[in-house]
Structure 1
């Protein structure tokens, strides 16, 4: 029971006790007073009649006796009047039943009123002629008592109503800081840390609010310290301190995960970039100059690779850099090789390198059965071949098997035709709890593209969909197909997770289409969760917050996929509150060893 209800009941109980006590005292006093009044009234009437009837009784004048008694009895204030002779025989008798129509029966039964007997002797000198008995009618007494009780009850009801209204309003005002404290505690549990600026005037409540403010600030500080520590440790373990790129440990972990994972189906390329004679450059320009060269080269590499959404850009050692890229077309691969070669020339043009021959690039395409060592070895061999070709050259390593590399136009035609003809295959993969029952949380939708090579996974074709601006169209196709093919005979609690591309987060027209589509399927929208890659979420936080808010109104959730892949600070999570995080596989797969 809420505190407001408890206080309301307490106030009502107190008022009721006060009213019952006051009514009991008032009614008791009134009844005693009326009892005395009835007794006095009956005795006065008996005495008066005794004096008036003495002569009539002595003369046995019944007509006069009846006239005098009727005149008094008809006033209605008496229940009975009797004239008795000396033997007790009634000479004249008048009786009537009390009229209590305006008084409830239960009230009469609970408050009996005495009807006292008034007596007087009929005398003629010293001779006794008889007795007269008079009983007053208690009906008027009951009316008086009922009126007193009724007026008291009405007054109590009015006072109680006013007291309740005032008490409820007052209690709400008094308890308002407590409701704010409750909201503050809920916000802290949801990773928000508000501070109440307006403090209550009540000292006790003020101390509670101040304590909650201190708690909110302390918890926020503790979490910030933990996040900072985690980010610092992660940077020390996996980030190169000079260039801000990944280090050799990150590159090795990334390569082992991509090539060893059965889920990702990695099909891509490894690029090795090496600056020439970096040791001599350090000796000539000093370590500060060498660090500046590495920073400039790292920034340029990051910028060139951004359009290809690389898995990793790292500095391996000295002036050796590496990039892991998803599958690209043959045209794009050649264009990137040329761009990297031109980048090395720009380092010379910018005055960082004294010699035009700035470095070389070696490229190796991933083949079936490649291990991290074999892929790195072939890329290194291509790098050595490029060094024999001349300054700023690049070389693609030969493969041990036939690798089908489509051109950019071939990829565009394949994806466009598949979108137009809806040539997609959808699979549902259950996601289960790690408990004894293996409860299914939801089903994740997996997209496959049929080709002459077989079914291509999303890791094979989505990089090219990004390159040709078709990723949003793919998202629309998947969402529409899932909603249209929703099983009508499935379980009532069926939940489905659909992957969204990062580019869709910034597409305003896609947002409008998605919300309108969900509005047409409200029963299914409440059982949908959309997964977005963490790197896209971190880059487009305002758009993601807006999308999460709109989806939440329709019952849909948002999860973050590949969490922990980049070097994004963890603090941004507090602002978006995703439904869940899917920790990137490279953390989970290496738990037994690292």
Structure 2
């Protein structure tokens, strides 16, 4: 229950108590007043009636006395009027038999109005003729008392509404800093370190806000420091100091990772640029001038391909490579023209001794690194020999082992979706220190019409090209849910990768949220992993999708982490529940100290954020011990178990 609601309830209870007290006090005061009025009224009536009755009693005319009493009694203000003789015998008696009280039946019981009789003697000279007794009727008094109670209640209710409305407004003003404090506290809990810019007027709340801002600033500053350290180590490990681009080691790691089988792009183009005559330029003008020229060239390449580039690196002394993903033919043509023009301008200004030899190769996810670079070398040599100075673009043909044509792949995947021809494999993720199972990661494979397994790196590029990834992810997650719903499932907790294309699909997001709302018990047993590439490529889509996962109660992890230059800032902006370190980075730490220093910086940053780390590609006891020394929480790889086939059956 919120503080505002508690305060409103407390104020309502106090107001109700005050209302009850005022109502009781008002009723008792009014009751005493009415009893006095009834007694006075009865006495006045008896005194006024004694004089007319004197003549009638003196003449012993009972009829006349009855008429005089009836005249007064018929007004209805009296409950009883009696005339007694000197011996106390009732001569005349008038009593109102019917109850004329227009009040609730409980009221006369709860508030008993005493009606004392009014008495007056009837005498003629010194002779006493009798006595008249008058008792007022309490019906009108009860009606008056009931009306006064209703009016009091109505006025108090109106006042309560007014006070309640004013209280709501005032509490909103007074407690608004508390809401902001709560919002910031939740943000800090979620590893988002915000500040409260407007200080409240209340001194106590002001101190709390200042303390929270100070704490948030301190933690934020520490994280910024850790990010700066990690970036320094990353630059030492993967950046070329002369050009400011990725060095050969960093480029190879990221390019190999790009070609891995997680279906992150449809087509890509690589520009390989070589600068002939640079060595002679260095000998003639000095290495400082050569380095400055190379830096200028690198700046041009980075600026031209910045819209599409995924990797830009210096892969040799005089060679630069840039990889751009998902660029159409028109975009490739524009990149070639602008890149060639601007590079030639830089080289002409510097010296005519240095010339550009370049080639561009368009490739897909199924092509190997060897094929790509061999064709790039051929394109570069073609440009040298042609003498035209034009960058040639080469398209790698699809492998003959693939089903002929893009249309064939589309039919194969469509049929697999319609016939549910998918096979799932699960590999364990273990806690390193205790050797305890954390969860299993699921991989999907397609079955062709002959029942053969089709690797992901074969069908995923075509699935991306035909916008089929949302349907594939939906089919795989459905199989996982069916498996988790079976009695005593073999795997209790499952992690599954979701593509960027699925994250961008509103239909997929709506389906996932609805499916997990239908089976909310599954949310705590399911984790969704998004590649570092997907997170860095589209922050807005990632934020929206992660918010959906949080709403459904699903854990969220970042996969293949540690190679992107902006990776730590992404984690800072969208903190996950866990991070999976890229396998290529893990394999480098034993032999490359710079890579190991970069990894340790990531570990320290993750520990500062309270995010567990999972190392991929753990293949040996030596690698395991090294990871445990670095205080990595969990691991995944063939050392703990090979991917195991999941048998999925529909739940009853």
Q: TM-score range by the shorter chain?
A: 0.5 to 0.7
Query: Does structure 1 conserve the Cα–Cα contact (< 8 Å) formed by 2:46 and 2:134?
Result: yes
- Alignment map for 1:83-482 (pairs within 5 Å): 83-97=83-97, 99-236=99-236, 241-242=241-242, 288=288, 408-411=397-400, 416=406, 419-422=409-412, 426-430=422-426, 434=430, 438=437, 443-446=442-445, 457-458=455-456, 465=461, 470=462, 472-473=464-465, 476-481=467-472
Deviation per CA, 1:226-263: give whole Å up to 9, x if none: 221233234445656456577799799999999xx999
Partner of 1:500: 499
Deviation per CA, 1:168-218: give whole Å up to 9, x if none: 122123222322222233233334344444444444444444444443333
Closer, same or farther: CA 126–582 of 1 in aligned 2, 3 Å: same
- CA–CA distance in structure 2, aligned partners of residues 152 and 95 of structure 1: 34
- CA–CA distance in structure 1, aligned partners of residues 125 and 255 of structure 2: 140
Task: Please state whether the residue corresponding to 1:422 is helix, strand or coil.
Answer: helix
Closer, same or farther: CA 164–472 of 1 in aligned 2, 3 Å: same
Deviation per CA, 1:56-88: give whole Å up to 9, x if none: 334432112212221221121211111222322
Task: Please state whether the residue corresponding to 2:114 is helix, strand or coil.
Answer: coil
Count of matched residue pairs: 503
Partner of 1:13: 13
Deviation of 1:427 after TM superposition, in Å, equals: 2.9
Structure 1 runs not aligned, ≥5 long: 265-273, 326-345, 359-374, 376-391, 393-406
Closer, same or farther: CA 129–492 of 1 in aligned 2, 3 Å: same
Deviation of 1:156 after TM superposition, in Å, equals: 0.6
Task: Please state whether the residue corresponding to 2:103 is helix, strand or coil.
Answer: coil
Match of 1:546 among 532, 541, 544: 541
Deviation of 1:21 after TM superposition, in Å, equals: 3.0
- CA–CA distance in structure 2, aligned partners of residues 139 and 60 of structure 1: 34
Closer, same or farther: CA 299–437 of 1 in aligned 2, 3 Å: same
- CA–CA distance in structure 1, aligned partners of residues 191 and 11 of structure 2: 39
Partner of 1:592: 625
Closer, same or farther: CA 53–207 of 1 in aligned 2, 3 Å: same
- CA–CA distance in structure 2, aligned partners of residues 447 and 44 of structure 1: 109
Deviation of 1:571 after TM superposition, in Å, equals: 1.1
What TM-score does the superposition give when structure 1 sets the normalisation length? 0.65
- CA–CA distance in structure 2, aligned partners of residues 9 and 233 of structure 1: 57
Partner of 2:362: none
What TM-score does the superposition give when structure 2 sets the normalisation length? 0.60
Closer, same or farther: CA 570–113 of 1 in aligned 2, 3 Å: same
Query: Does structure 1 conserve the Cα–Cα contact (< 8 Å) formed by 2:533 and 2:564?
Result: yes
Task: Please state whether the residue corresponding to 1:102 is helix, strand or coil.
Answer: coil
- CA–CA distance in structure 1, aligned partners of residues 425 and 195 of structure 2: 44
Superposed CA RMSD: 5.6
Task: Please state whether the residue corresponding to 1:130 is helix, strand or coil.
Answer: strand
Structure number with larger C-alpha Rg: 1
Query: Does structure 2 conserve the Cα–Cα contact (< 8 Å) formed by 1:545 and 1:576?
Result: no
Partner of 2:34: 34
- CA–CA distance in structure 2, aligned partners of residues 69 and 478 of structure 1: 104
Closer, same or farther: CA 38–413 of 1 in aligned 2, 3 Å: closer
Query: Does structure 2 conserve the Cα–Cα contact (< 8 Å) formed by 1:444 and 1:496?
Result: no
Query: Does structure 2 conserve the Cα–Cα contact (< 8 Å) formed by 1:45 and 1:118?
Result: yes
Deviation of 1:35 after TM superposition, in Å, equals: 1.8
- CA–CA distance in structure 1, aligned partners of residues 60 and 429 of structure 2: 112
Deviation of 1:154 after TM superposition, in Å, equals: 0.9
- CA–CA distance in structure 1, aligned partners of residues 429 and 443 of structure 2: 14
Closer, same or farther: CA 55–442 of 1 in aligned 2, 3 Å: farther
- CA–CA distance in structure 1, aligned partners of residues 310 and 130 of structure 2: 130
Partner of 1:515: 506
Partner of 1:399: none
- CA–CA distance in structure 2, aligned partners of residues 417 and 262 of structure 1: 21
RCO greater where, 1 or 2, for CA within 8 Å and sep 6 or more? Answer: 2
- CA–CA distance in structure 2, aligned partners of residues 148 and 499 of structure 1: 71
Deviation of 1:153 after TM superposition, in Å, equals: 0.9
Query: Does structure 1 conserve the Cα–Cα contact (< 8 Å) formed by 2:409 and 2:459?
Result: no
Q: Are 1:572 and 2:566 matched, yes or no?
A: no
Query: Does structure 2 conserve the Cα–Cα contact (< 8 Å) formed by 1:428 and 1:443?
Result: yes
Task: Please state whether the residue corresponding to 2:106 is helix, strand or coil.
Answer: helix
Closer, same or farther: CA 482–127 of 1 in aligned 2, 3 Å: same
Partner of 2:560: 562
Query: Does structure 1 conserve the Cα–Cα contact (< 8 Å) formed by 2:82 and 2:93?
Result: yes
- CA–CA distance in structure 1, aligned partners of residues 20 and 558 of structure 2: 65
Q: Are 1:67 and 2:63 matched, yes or no?
A: no
Task: Please state whether the residue corresponding to 1:592 is helix, strand or coil.
Answer: helix
Deviation of 1:582 after TM superposition, in Å, equals: 2.4
Deviation of 1:573 after TM superposition, in Å, equals: 2.8
Deviation of 1:314 after TM superposition, in Å, equals: 8.6
Structure 2 runs not aligned, ≥5 long: 264-273, 324-343, 358-369, 371-383, 385-395, 487-492, 518-522, 587-614, 628-652
Task: Please state whether the residue corresponding to 1:593 is helix, strand or coil.
Answer: helix
Deviation per CA, 1:368-401: give whole Å up to 9, x if none: xxxxxxx9xxxxxxxxxxxxxxxx9xxxxxxxxx
Query: Does structure 1 conserve the Cα–Cα contact (< 8 Å) formed by 2:534 and 2:542?
Result: no
Task: Please state whether the residue corresponding to 1:115 is helix, strand or coil.
Answer: coil
- CA–CA distance in structure 1, aligned partners of residues 515 and 49 of structure 2: 96
Query: Does structure 2 conserve the Cα–Cα contact (< 8 Å) formed by 1:98 and 1:139?
Result: no
Closer, same or farther: CA 10–255 of 1 in aligned 2, 3 Å: closer
